Amino acid sequence: MSVEIKNKKASYQYFLEDSFSAGILLQGSEIKSIRVGKASIQEAYCKIQGNELFIFNMYIAEYQNASYFDHEPRRVRKLLLNRTELNKIIKKSKDVGFTIVPTRLFINDKGWAKLDFALAKGKKLHDKREDIKSKEIKRDLDRLKKY
């Protein structure tokens, strides 16, 4: 059983430039909740503090079978990256208009929780309309090809 939690609105609201993958520093009850699929990154965002990268507002539900060692659902969590990747992200995020957006939370082959995120620029309203229009055209063409 694989767990894959996506942020579907990220590609709609942002132009995704470079993507990265990082580990997450979690507590025991958090990884158990993620394995059950009780997590959300819809409202999450990443921010650089000092020389480290953190994810804010990521929701991981409290694990039902955990005792009093339970965790806070929306606590700040550290992302684990190589120094070279982190320096690259810090350098690019200083450019005007760039933000760091989480796109996917998954469990890899080794059983580790990983987060895919991207450096992104915000879309304007007309860009979003163009995306909707192109998706509708593609859907109509696929329907016509089907028959």
Q: What is the pLDDT of residues 17-39, one digit of tens each?
A: 899 999 999 988 888 889 988 99
Q: Is the pTM of this model over 0.85?
A: no
E-assigned strands of 86-136?
A: 98-107, 113-122
Q: Which residues of 77-96 are buried (b: 16+ CB within 10 A; e: fewer)?
A: bebebeeeebeebeeeeeee
pLDDT, residue 71, reads: 78
- All domains of the chain in start order, with CATH: 4-146 (2.40.280.10)
pLDDT, residue 63, reads: 83
pLDDT, residue 1, reads: 61
> What tens digit of pLDDT does each residue of 37-88 get?
899 999 999 999 989 999 999 999 888 777 777 778 899 999 999 999 999 9
> What tens digit of pLDDT does each residue of 93-143 get?
888 888 999 999 999 999 899 999 999 998 888 888 998 999 999 999 999
